């Protein structure tokens, strides 16, 4: 866990005022520990991502929430896909084969230019 001061020190491009704004806008949500905001590794990585988007890629501040929301949705989808994959591997081989066949059958409808039936 690290404090705001630790974050600002470790991420050289980070402006404290920007971080405070991102916290107000709930783009970053630190935990409270005895009245002090602390950041775990996940939040540290999120701040680094926001810094890259804002400072290096020059993404407009008003656009950041949209991009972060899309990234969060993608992350959640990947987690759900991992859970689904794990659940499928616990099934009988016949069930696994049926799922794979259904996926192959349906993957054609997802291809660009394919017609929906």
Q: Structure tokens of 112?
A: 């660009």
Q: How far is CA 76 from the centre of its chain?
A: 7
pTM of the model: 0.75
SS3 12: coil
pLDDT at 106: 83
- pLDDT digits over 11-53, tens only? 999 999 999 999 999 999 999 988 889 999 999 999 999 999 9
pLDDT at 114: 52
Q: Are 48 and 11 in contact (CB under 8 A)?
A: yes
Q: How confident is the model at residue 107 (pLDDT cuts 50, 70, 90)?
A: confident
pLDDT greater than 80 at residue 104 = yes
SS3 37: strand
- pLDDT digits over 61-74, tens only? 999 999 999 999 99
Question: Where do the structural domains in the chain lie, given as residue ranges?
Answer: 1-61, 62-109
Q: Which CATH class is domain 1-61?
A: mainly alpha
């Amino acid at each position: 866990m690290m404090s705001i001061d630790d974050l600002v020190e470790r991420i050289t491009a980070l402006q404290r005022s920007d971080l405070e704004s991102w916290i107000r806008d709930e783009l970053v949500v630190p935990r409270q520990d005895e009245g002090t905001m602390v950041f775990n590794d996940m939040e540290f990585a999120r701040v680094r991502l926001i810094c890259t988007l804002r400072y290096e890629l020059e993404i407009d501040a008003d656009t950041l929430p949209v991009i972060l929301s899309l990234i969060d949705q993608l992350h959640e989808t990947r987690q759900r896909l991992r859970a689904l994959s794990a659940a499928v591997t616990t099934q009988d081989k016949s069930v696994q084969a049926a799922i794979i066949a259904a996926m192959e059958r349906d993957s054609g409808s997802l291809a660009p230019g394919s017609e929906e039936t």
